[in-house]
Every structure is written in structure tokens, then in C-alpha cells.
A and B are shown apart, each in its own frame.
Chain A
Amino acid sequence: MEKPTRRIDHAVRQFIVERFLYGDHSAPLADEDSLLDKGIIDSTGVLELVAYLQSEFGIEIPDEEIIPDNLDSIAKLTRYIQHKQSRVAHAG
């Protein structure tokens, strides 16, 4: 079942804030902010993020898709997950 954009966006933000900002919802984090430039994720953070996305959204993330264009902001993550889910839905 595809999740609506809002819910994906919310879930991803929730995970990032809980896991990498230790629940600090007061920290300003815009949808388009680069997670890397803001120092929110690093190389091990990316591994955790990928593991979370795979289990939470039931998507496969091949190595070549682990790139900033897909994962480096909440907005990019949301678009990427939607795109992946729609591919799964169409294939199914």
C-alpha cells in the first residue's frame, strides 16, 4: 500500500529527528536542507537511514541508488520513497 506524501514526509522526519537529533524537534530542519551539510548524517548515519527505509517502507535500495540525489534531504527522501513505492505498486 502506498503511503501518501504527507505520511512519508512525517515518518522520515520523525526518524531523522529521533535518531540523529535525539528528539530535538526545536532544531530548524527544512524539507530541502542537506542532511550532510547540516551535519545531521555521516557515513554510518547513511547506513542506518538505508536500513530504516528498507524496513519501514518495504523497498529495496540497491547500492547505486545510495546517492545524495535520493537521500540527502527530507524532500528528496520523500520523492525517492514515493517513486520506489509506485514502481513496486505497478509491478505488483
Chain B
Amino acid sequence: MRVEEFLEHSAHRAPHKTALICQGSRLTYAEVDQLSDRLAGALIEKGVRRGDRVVVFLDNSVEAVVSIFGILKAGAVFIMANSTTKAEKLAYMMNNSEAVGLIAHVRQGPVFAEIENHSPSLRVIVTAGSGHDTVSGNRVTVLPWDEALHPLTGHRPAPGIDVDLATIIYTSGSTGFPKGVMMTHLNMVTAATSITQYLGNTADDVILNVLPLSFDYGLYQVLMGFKVGGTVILEKSFAFPQLILNQLRDAKVTGFPIVPTMAAILLQINTLAPGQFPHLRYITNTAAALPPAHITQLRRIFPSTKIYSMYGLTECKRVAYLPPDQLDIRPTSVGKAIPNTEVYIVNERGQRVGPGEIGELVVRGAHVMKGYWKLPEDTKRALKPGWIDGETVLYSGDFFRADEEGYLYFVGRKDDMIKTRGEKVSPTEIERVLYMLTDVLEVAVVGVPDEILGQAIKAMIVLRDGAHLTENEILLHCRLHLEDFMVPQAVELTHALPKTDSGKIQRRGLPIESRR
């Protein structure tokens, strides 16, 4: 099975059912199916071929959802870019993936010229939204959204099979540049099948998603909702939680995926009385553990709602979940392997460890990625031989222990990755951007504990002699070069940074006192 079949099958079963609600628009399955068919036809007409990559640079919107399925129906591979990505990084992703297509909002016009100049592989830009675009259009065809959705003529070729790539998900990389996680249709269908199974999703579900579709947790809400034929409500952000709570109640939402930052913000709302959301069947949390105090408060406010603590990584989407009935017994556990997945913990020699011992978590299953795009060495470090000849299993890079009954507990990361607002951020990527400032001599970026963000990002900086750069100037530079969630919350100018014997800056050992 391929991912676009989630939509096609649901459109066949229940064409008039509401599939998507977003920004005041309601679309049925038949409508989303037809729009994505048309987009696929237009992409193919403009030269997009099976296996080609097309970048979707849109915030949560109808266009983003139609793009995902349109690209897949054309046999191509979709790549979601966070809507706050800056031109330089977008160009990096386009070039690295050798993308032939870009679907972006017309208001991103100023970025197009730079992309066009720096992306030799680019052939077509589809512009969503109305208004003027500023693309020269010399080498690249610019196709306004409405034109891309003209009724189809001609026959569309079969898109491919399930071992073809469906998406490349760019994650923050330890080299300072993002790396692309290659996911096949089979990988994604496997993950979506497993997750919808343990959540018990059905066509009656109404899922409210505020997470960006560039974040795999957000993306899967659409995929899973469409797989079961449910309704997905897509919101652009959680900035105004009161609106989201109104939606939860008024739209009789049954499923609400959150990250710990959202729980922390929700729980600050004084008017949140218990029992206002009788329809809400489940809340899922992933990306980082919920503090036990927040679990207790969530349960008080949502007494009839099941709360799922989960753990995963982009390289296989999801690994483990804690059955809600275990939440009181072991609130800090992320549970056991999801259906059709096997996990075990190994020591440095690759041997399995017993209960209570700490080691690296290894994941085995058909949802494990194909590897990192064009990074064979990184792939070799993450994917190692499994039990069966030729099989690979995923080394997660996360340290875990298991209790006597096999429930898993996250202990820490092997590297210095920061988890902020639920997103994994490489300190090296931020340090690389800071080193672009000539006045910066040395930088160390670290995560510091933060009640709302999980970890806040802090940059410790040594300036060159005589430099007069201010903290605000440094932060502004970050804002102009990094996605919003990667911009540090704090900059500290300092005289020296701790070093290893070989003179390398040591992030560990830096003071990491809480920001608040």
C-alpha cells in the first residue's frame, strides 16, 4: 500500500465525508482527492517524474495537504519545509535533495529569486495564494495554484510501488547542516497502521492538529486521519490556546496531539474547568516526557480522556507508547514497543542488557527509514546489521533502561541534541550560523531547562578583542538565518569557554541553570 491510497480509499468509501477543516474551509474526501489528482496532473505536465523531489514550503493549510497527496500521486517525493525556514537553508534543502519542484505561498516571493538562482535542478514553482509573484520565470515555470488545479486532461501514469520513497524529512544535523531522513511508503504506512491501531482510531475520529506539517508528528495526524476516514482540523499554531480550546469543545474533537510545551501553556489557563471536553477520547504526547505534575493536572481537567505518553524519532517515526492504564503505575515510562515493532537495549559492545541497566535503544521494524539522503557514513552509524542477513536495525542514539516488566524509561541522549518545543535542534547548526558573524570568536550552544519549552536554547559567546556586538544584534542575526524554533532564547557574552585537552570547545560542563 502507498500513502496516497489512504486518501483514495477513504474518498472511495465516503466521498462526501468531511476530510479537512482549515481556516474556515471544509473539504470532503472527494474534494481533496480531486484537487490532489489535478495537482498531480499539473506537476507531471511540467516535467515532474517518478522519484523526483518536490519541496512544500507552506504553513498548515489546505494547499499543504493537497500538495502532499498531489506530489505522491505524481509518483514524486514530498519534502516539507518549515514555513519559517530562511532562504539560505531552503536553498540547501532544495540543492541537497535536487528538488525539481517547489510549492510555496506567493508571499514568500522574495525568497523565490534566491532559490531560483541557487537551485539548478528547480524546474517548476507552484504558487499558492493570490497576489503578485516576483519570480523572473526565465528558467523556471511559475504556475499559480488556480492554474495548477485546472481540470485534468489525459491519463496519469501509475505512481509507483510501496518501496519507493514517499518523503525526505530534514532534521537538524550534528554537522551543522540538516540531514534528510528517507522514508518509503512502506515505512510510513507501517508507522501509521501501528499508531492508529493502538490509538483505536476510526472514521468517527475528529483530530485537531496545531503542530506544523513540517514536523513528522503533525504530518502523521493528517495521514492517520485520512487512513481511517476521520476528520482532520488543521490549525496554524497554538499561539492563542483559548481558540484551540473552543475548537476542541465546539467541533467535538476526539483526538488532540500535543507536545509538553503545549501542556505547560494549557495548564496556565485559569478558566480550564474539569469535564468541558466529554468528546475528547485521547490526548497524545511525544517529543519529550510530560512532567508528572502536568500529567496529574491534565487528568483532572480531562477526566474522561485517555492520555498517551509516547516516544519516537524521525528515523522510524514512533517507537513506544505507554498504555493509558499504566500512567498511574509508571508515570515516567514511555511504555513498550508499538504494534509490529521490536525494541531492545544494548551496551557499548552491542550486547543486550538486563532490567535496570542503561544502554542504547535499538529499533527493529518495517517503519525504520531507508537511511539518510546522500550520507552513507551517517546511515551506517544509525542503521546496523540486525538478526536476519541483510536486515538493518535502527540505533536510536538515545539511552534507555527497562524495568522488570519491560517498560522503557528514557535516560538521555548520546549526543548534545537540544529538544525545544518538542523539536530536535542540533547545537552545531546554531553555532554555524553564529560563526557567520566575524566578531564571534567562539561559541557553545546548549539547552537549559525551561518550564515551558522543555529546553531553552542558550548561546555562550566569546567575542574577538575590540568587538562591540550586542546580544540583540546577535539574536537578530539568528532570527534572520534560523527557523523560529531554533533562535536562542538567551545569549551570554563571556570571556572564555571550557575546552577539552585537544582544544575543542566542550558543551558539557557549561553552566545550564534554568532561564526562569
For window 472-490 of chain B, which residues contact chain A by CB distance below 8 Å?
472-473, 475-476, 479, 484
- Say yes or no: is B265 at the interface (Cβ < 8 Å to chain A): yes
For window 61-86 of chain B, which residues contact chain A by CB distance below 8 Å?
83-84
- Say yes or no: is A42 at the interface (Cβ < 8 Å to chain B): yes
Chain A residues with Cβ below 8 Å from B472 are: 18, 22-23
Chain B residues with Cβ below 8 Å from A21 are: 476, 479
0/1 interface trace, chain B 442-458, chain A, CB 8 Å (1 if under):
00000000001100000
- Say yes or no: is B270 at the interface (Cβ < 8 Å to chain A): yes
Chain B residues with Cβ below 8 Å from A22 are: 472-473, 475-476, 479
Chain A residues with Cβ below 8 Å from B238 are: 43
For window 82-120 of chain B, which residues contact chain A by CB distance below 8 Å?
83-84
Is the pair B269, A63 in contact by a Cβ cutoff of 8 Å?
yes
What is the minimal beta-carbon distance from B32 to any residue of chain A, in angstroms? 24
Is the pair A36, B476 in contact by a Cβ cutoff of 8 Å?
no
CA distance A71 to B242 in the complex (A): 13
- Say yes or no: is B197 at the interface (Cβ < 8 Å to chain A): no
CA distance A41 to B479 in the complex (A): 12
Is the pair A39, B484 in contact by a Cβ cutoff of 8 Å?
yes
What is the minimal beta-carbon distance from A39 to any residue of chain B, in angstroms? 5
Is the pair B239, A39 in contact by a Cβ cutoff of 8 Å?
no
CA distance A42 to B473 in the complex (A): 21
What is the minimal beta-carbon distance from B309 to any residue of chain A, in angstroms? 21
CA distance A41 to B92 in the complex (A): 26
Q: Given A18, A23, A39, A68, which contacts B240 in the complex, CB threshold below 8 Å? A: A68
The listed residue with most B CB atoms (<10 A of its CB), out of A39, A44, A46, A62, is A44
- Say yes or no: is B329 at the interface (Cβ < 8 Å to chain A): no
For window 12-68 of chain A, which residues contact chain B by CB distance below 8 Å?
18, 21-24, 36, 39, 41-47, 62-64, 66-68
Chain A residues with Cβ below 8 Å from B240 are: 36, 46, 66-68, 71
Is the pair B453, A47 in contact by a Cβ cutoff of 8 Å?
no
Chain B: which residue is nearest A66 at the CB level? B242
Chain B residues with Cβ below 8 Å from A71 are: 240
The listed residue with most B CB atoms (<10 A of its CB), out of A22, A42, A68, is A22
Q: Given A36, A39, A42, A64, which contacts B242 in the complex, CB threshold below 8 Å? A: A64
- Say yes or no: is B500 at the interface (Cβ < 8 Å to chain A): no
Chain A residues with Cβ below 8 Å from B473 are: 22-23
Is the pair B476, A24 in contact by a Cβ cutoff of 8 Å?
yes
What is the minimal beta-carbon distance from B430 to any residue of chain A, in angstroms? 15
Chain B, interface size category, equals 20 to 34
Chain A: which residue is nearest B478 at the CB level? A22
Is the pair B452, A63 in contact by a Cβ cutoff of 8 Å?
no
- Say yes or no: is B268 at the interface (Cβ < 8 Å to chain A): yes
What is the minimal beta-carbon distance from A16 to any residue of chain B, in angstroms? 13
CA distance A44 to B238 in the complex (A): 9
Chain B: which residue is nearest A62 at the CB level? B271
What is the minimal beta-carbon distance from B252 to any residue of chain A, in angstroms? 20
Knowing A64-B242, A67-B240 are in contact, say whether A43-B479 is a contact too (CB < 8 A): no
Interface size on A, residues (CB 8 A): 21
- Say yes or no: is B241 at the interface (Cβ < 8 Å to chain A): yes
Chain B residues with Cβ below 8 Å from A64 are: 242, 271
Q: Given B239, B268, B272, B476, which contacts A42 in the complex, CB threshold below 8 Å? A: B239
Is the pair B269, A43 in contact by a Cβ cutoff of 8 Å?
no
- Say yes or no: is B237 at the interface (Cβ < 8 Å to chain A): yes
Is the pair A42, B479 in contact by a Cβ cutoff of 8 Å?
no
- Say yes or no: is B293 at the interface (Cβ < 8 Å to chain A): no
Chain A residues with Cβ below 8 Å from B271 are: 62-64
CA distance A24 to B473 in the complex (A): 8
Is the pair A47, B452 in contact by a Cβ cutoff of 8 Å?
yes
Chain A residues with Cβ below 8 Å from B453 are: 44
0/1 interface trace, chain B 224-253, chain A, CB 8 Å (1 if under):
000000000000111111110000000000
CA distance A71 to B452 in the complex (A): 21
Knowing A44-B452, A47-B452, A64-B242 are in contact, say whether A36-B237 is a contact too (CB < 8 A): yes
Knowing A22-B472, A22-B473, A23-B472 are in contact, say whether A43-B242 is a contact too (CB < 8 A): no
Is the pair B476, A43 in contact by a Cβ cutoff of 8 Å?
no
CA distance A41 to B239 in the complex (A): 8
Chain A residues with Cβ below 8 Å from B84 are: 39
Chain A: which residue is nearest B243 at the CB level? A67
Chain B residues with Cβ below 8 Å from A24 are: 476, 479
What is the minimal beta-carbon distance from A24 to any residue of chain B, in angstroms? 5
Knowing A21-B479, A22-B479, A47-B452 are in contact, say whether A68-B237 is a contact too (CB < 8 A): no
CA distance A23 to B472 in the complex (A): 7
CA distance A63 to B240 in the complex (A): 10
19 pairs from A and B in contact (CB 8 Å cutoff) = A22-B472, A22-B479, A24-B476, A36-B236, A36-B239, A39-B84, A39-B484, A43-B237, A43-B262, A43-B265, A44-B452, A46-B239, A46-B240, A63-B242, A63-B271, A63-B272, A64-B242, A64-B271, A67-B242
- Further 20 A-B residue pairs, CB within 8 A, beyond A22-B472, A43-B239, A46-B240: A21-B476, A21-B479, A23-B472, A23-B476, A39-B83, A39-B84, A43-B238, A43-B261, A43-B262, A44-B261, A44-B265, A44-B453, A45-B239, A47-B452, A63-B270, A63-B271, A66-B242, A67-B243, A68-B243, A71-B240
Identify the 5 closest CB pairs spanning chains A and B, nearest first. Answer: A22-B476, A22-B475, A22-B472, A23-B472, A43-B238
A interface list, Cβ under 8 A from B: 18, 21-24, 36, 39, 41-47, 62-64, 66-68, 71
